[in-house]
A and B are shown apart, each in its own frame.
Chain A
Amino acid sequence: MGINKSRPIYEKLRIDPKGRAHLIVTDLASVPEDAIEADPAFSNIESWVVGIGAPGIAAEARGNLRAFRAVADLRSHLSHRLARETMGFRLYALGSEAFLWDVMTLGREAGLGEGEIFLNQAGTLRRRVYCTHCKTMNENVATHIVVCQACGATLFVRDHFSRRLAAFMGVKVDAEVPGEVPAPEVLYP
């Protein structure tokens, strides 16, 4: 069976020459050199990272660099920034899939859409899993079977992704014969 058509397909990030101002946000500690294609003439590119600002970006060449203590902090600042921005703004997100789509939701709420916000997966491939039975989000799931941290159901992680929830769908794996649970495979260590 092929890949589920609800799965997003990611492409390498590229600075859009038609944009007026550019902001890269990532849940990583730095933006790797090769993570984004940009014409060297561009100097008005800002980067927001989480953790300690690190080498890998020549701060003068790439414009402002800002480091946040945590993803939640970055998101809060991003909401405020987007509410003030005007047309021509471009947002580029790099990081885990859950981070990307959380940023997308913030972007959409502020009005950003196709052609203005770009996503690419980097860093961990671990998944956020939505427990269909109790509606709880289980973060950083490395396996294809996971026990819901809230209701205790053993979930099979279906290959069905919701951009709105930024999560994969988890459904009880042993609903038909309780106890009949396959061994969890570690997919994303």
Chain B
Amino acid sequence: MKARIADIQSLGPAIKRLVLAPSGAELFPAASAGANILLEIPGPERVWKNAYSLVSAPGERNRYEIIVRRVRQSRGGSAWLHDHAVIGQELEIGVPANFFPIAKAAKKHLLLSAGIGITPFLSYLAALQAAKAAFELHHCCRGEEAGLFRDLLPQSAQAVLHTSRNTLDLVKLLSVQKLHTHLYVCGPEAFMDLVVATALRLGWPRAKIHEESFGGATGGAPFIVKLARSGIAVQVRADETLLEALQNAGVDAPCLCRGGACGVCELPVLEGVPEHHDHFLSEQKRAGNTSIMTCVSRAKTPELVLDF
């Protein structure tokens, strides 16, 4: 659907908030906490399709708000938004989809984020506060960004900002939680891996750990993908995902969330070793290297052959 950029606010040197409003008379559909939207970003040579978490309150139908960080190794999408987006401009956006919902039956919600990973939790906060649900938010950021994030967080004992490693005692925090708590993690891969590994080591069951993948769809070493059934070979450049390369080459590759979460883009691997960045495949499937999620994963070998 079409949306109009209603406002652009600078929150920091490389962070902007975009407010989107409906283009026509029809309101946006309401969104759930943790939902994201796909933005079609019109670059000079190509169109990027990037997913951004909604930070506006769930249920808001008059506007959607997203926060965009200008990524240093940006493939172009976020840089374009920072440098070229103007108020009044129209963009194509997707309807909200949610691969990171709040667990409705949990009686307490423990939110752990780092850097730009806080964005889905901003929509969570509105829902949790409205429902008077018990929660704790611990956000980690670099010292120079403390001011920016402090402004985004509510003034409450439930939201804690950590600017150094020493103030967040992860083991203690995870150990003291009662049984009805669920854990939600969002941030750079290394941060998420550490939190999840610690939780599992302390006996948290997988079912109570929820992760939103951010930065999963990054670039990496270029490689060649060959499609066994059609015989096509496609170059995957450093600054595009495997899925984008296929689709730009005219291949009707399946996809939906573009974030490694929903499973639709999974394709069988015949040769080569995939580099997995998704949150969908089981440990066994990853180890077997017989499948790949094209929207976020890449290749460890110079070539990959897919059964497609």
Contact = CB atoms under 8 A, between A and B. Distances in A.
Interface of A: 18-20, 82-83, 85-90, 108, 110-116
A88 B202 contact: yes
B107 A111 contact: yes
Contacts of A20: 202-203
Contacts of A82: 179
Contact of B203 (A18, A83, A112, A114): A18
Q: Which of A19, A85, A87 has the most CB of B within 10 A?
A: A87
A85 B178 contact: yes
B180 A111 contact: yes
A115 B180 contact: no
10 contacts: A18-B201, A82-B179, A86-B175, A87-B204, A88-B202, A89-B203, A111-B106, A111-B180, A113-B207, A116-B179
B301 interface: no
Interface residues of B, number: 20
B268 to A, nearest CB: 28
B178 A111 contact: yes
Contacts of B286: none
Given A20-B202, A111-B106, A111-B107, A87 B179 contact: yes
A82 B177 CA distance: 12
Given A18-B200, A87-B174, A115 B205 contact: yes
A111 B200 contact: no
B107 A87 contact: no
A86 B180 CA distance: 9
Contact of B179 (A18, A89, A114): A89
B194 interface: no
Contacts of B178: 83, 85-87, 111
A80 to B, nearest CB: 13
A115 B179 contact: no
A19 B175 CA distance: 12
Q: List the 7 closest A-B pairs by CB distance, nearest first.
A: A88-B203, A111-B180, A115-B205, A111-B179, A114-B207, A20-B203, A87-B177
Contact of A114 (B181, B202, B205): B205
A98 B84 CA distance: 64
Contacts of B165: none
B206 interface: yes
A82 B180 CA distance: 10
Nearest to B108: A111
Given A87-B178, A111-B180, A112-B179, 14 more contacts: A18-B200, A18-B201, A18-B203, A82-B179, A83-B178, A85-B178, A86-B178, A86-B179, A87-B177, A87-B181, A108-B105, A110-B179, A114-B205, A116-B205
Nearest to A17: B203
